[in-house]
Amino acid sequence: MSTVEFSSVTKRFDDGTVALDSLSLKVEEGEFLVLLGPSGCGKSTALRVLAGLEEASSGDILIGGQRVNDLPPGARDLGMVFQSYALYPHMSVAENLSFGLRRGQQRLAISEAEIGERVNSAVDLLDLSEVLDRRPRELSGGQQQRVAIGRALVRRPKVLLMDEPLSNLDAKLRNRMRLEIRRLHERHGTTTVYVTHDQVEAMTLADRIAVLNGGRLQQHARPLDAYHRPANSFVASFIGTPPMNLIEGEARSNRFHAGELSFPLPAHLSAHSARAFYGIRPEHIRRLDSAEHPEAVPAQVLGRENLGSVSVTHLDALGHRITASERTDDDPDASGQITVSLTHSSAILLEN
Ligand code: ATP
């Protein structure tokens, strides 16, 4: 186990694309860090630079406190699992698991018995004993994925790197494997850096999330902190389904004003006076019985999507599109004019 640190790492490709812009980030020993962001934000590049598959244009990469910029990938003691599992098709599961160790047997100075022991322990951990003699094409997607993880784990790496390892799986299997990866991490405790664009994966797997956009770090925080206290409007709109509502306007005299829309600020924000985005999560918007209520905001229901236990209601509040998430058992009106409150104790103001 080891710490991992990016210290002012910039990656500029030959064509001038800046994929990482002065990234500084520390992953603690035994921590599960998720690099999260939209396509093209630089997350795979960060992983590749850490693995030594790309060279940083400037800045330092440290593993266990040691600068590794000049070490080749094989000498960095990392285990890697990629989106395409890249298993050897002509080898059995058992051979796939042991191949990396056999190839490096002399360099790693490990005995045949030690190889057997490490493979057995991965087989138990990942529940692969039934399929040891099969070739990769005879395995399900989830089994292939477990073999790929097992192959990385048998090396007992200091750090485990995973790049969108679940994206080839169907939704059901993805949910199951997500739980398994987290469970595995809890048992193994290997420092892990995991790349995904899927905020649900990030929220459920991570000890901490690093949100990237345009090669820049937006926020580095525990998942629930990023959810409840996003650092900026990018994070607010990227984390959460449906995303946080952001209304652009002005906080003034205990109220928030946005065109014709005006409502009281919650107590914790009432002292603010600035142009800002007012951020409220869809689940915090409440329907009111009376248009005379001091918090009343009139809203037109534009449509309602029933997701089972919750429904997403799309509203037009005096020219502002907002979404509310409501329990389906409440079964409120799905159309017409309603009155809502946008004043909530967990709402936030973000600079614009
Ligand atoms: P995705 O989720 O789509 O894989 P990502 O966040 O992992 O995206 P990267 O693959 O790190 O993004 O790419 C970051 C930026 O760098 C993108 O604009 C990409 O087009 C660019 N890029 C990546 N590799 C190269 C390269 N070899 N040469 C030039 N530009 C590159």
pLDDT along the chain (352 residues), means of 10: 94 96 97 96 96 96 96 90 85 92 76 89 86 92 87 88 86 83 88 95 96 97 94 93 94 95 95 93 93 94 88 95 87 78 96 78
Lookup result for tokens 């192959």:
151
When divided into structural domains, the chain yields a total of: 2
Q: Could you tell me the CATH number of the domain that includes residue 20? A: 3.40.50.300
CA 195 to chain centre: 7
Angle (CA) 137-141-147 rounded to 5° is 80
Q: Are residues 341 and 200 in the same domain?
A: no
Q: Are residues 53 and 108 in the same domain?
A: yes
Q: Could you tell me the CATH number of the domain that includes residue 345? A: 2.40.50.140
Per-residue model confidence (pLDDT) at position 330: 66
**What is d(CA 26, CA 3) in angstroms, rounded to the nearest whole number?**
7
Q: Are residues 168 and 261 in the same domain?
A: no
Per-residue model confidence (pLDDT) at position 334: 64
Ligand 1 centroid–CA 182 distance in Å is 27
Q: Are residues 208 and 68 in the same domain?
A: yes
Q: Are residues 11 and 132 in the same domain?
A: yes
Q: Are residues 138 and 252 in the same domain?
A: no
Task: Please give the sequence-ordered ranges of beta strands (E in DSSP) within the chain, or none if there are none.
Answer: 4-12, 18-27, 32-36, 58-63, 66-67, 78-81, 159-163, 191-196, 208-213, 216-221, 245-252, 255-258, 261-264, 274-280, 286-287, 296-306, 310-317, 320-327, 336-341, 348-351
Residue-number span of the structural domain to which 332 is assigned: 245-351
Q: Are residues 233 and 287 in the same domain?
A: no
Q: Is any ligand 1 atom within 6 A of the Cβ of residue 39?
A: yes
Q: Are residues 256 and 191 in the same domain?
A: no
Q: Are residues 175 and 124 in the same domain?
A: yes
| Residue minimizing CA distance to atom 17 of ligand 1 | 40
Domain boundary among 179, 214, 238: 238
Per-residue model confidence (pLDDT) at position 97: 93
- Listed in sequence order, the DSSP H helices in the chain are 43-51, 93-103, 105-108, 112-126, 141-153, 171-188, 199-205, 223-228, 233-238
Residue to probe by mutation, ligand 1, list 23, 43, 82, most atoms within 8 Å of CB: 43
Q: Is any ligand 1 atom within 6 A of the Cβ of residue 150?
A: no
**Helix axes of 112-126 and 141-153: crossing angle, nearest 10 degrees:** 140
Angle (CA) 172-177-181 rounded to 5° is 155
Q: Are residues 281 and 231 in the same domain?
A: no
Domain boundary among 183, 213, 238: 238
Per-residue model confidence (pLDDT) at position 85: 73
Question: Can you name the residues that pair with 10 across neighbouring β-strands?
Answer: 58
Q: Is any ligand 1 atom within 6 A of the Cβ of residue 196?
A: no
Q: Is any ligand 1 atom within 6 A of the Cβ of residue 131?
A: no
Per-residue model confidence (pLDDT) at position 149: 87
Ligand 1 centroid–CA 256 distance in Å is 40
| Residue minimizing CA distance to atom 28 of ligand 1 | 13
Per-residue model confidence (pLDDT) at position 332: 64
Domain boundary among 201, 223, 238: 238
Per-residue model confidence (pLDDT) at position 192: 96
Q: Are residues 36 and 168 in the same domain?
A: yes
Q: Are residues 51 and 175 in the same domain?
A: yes
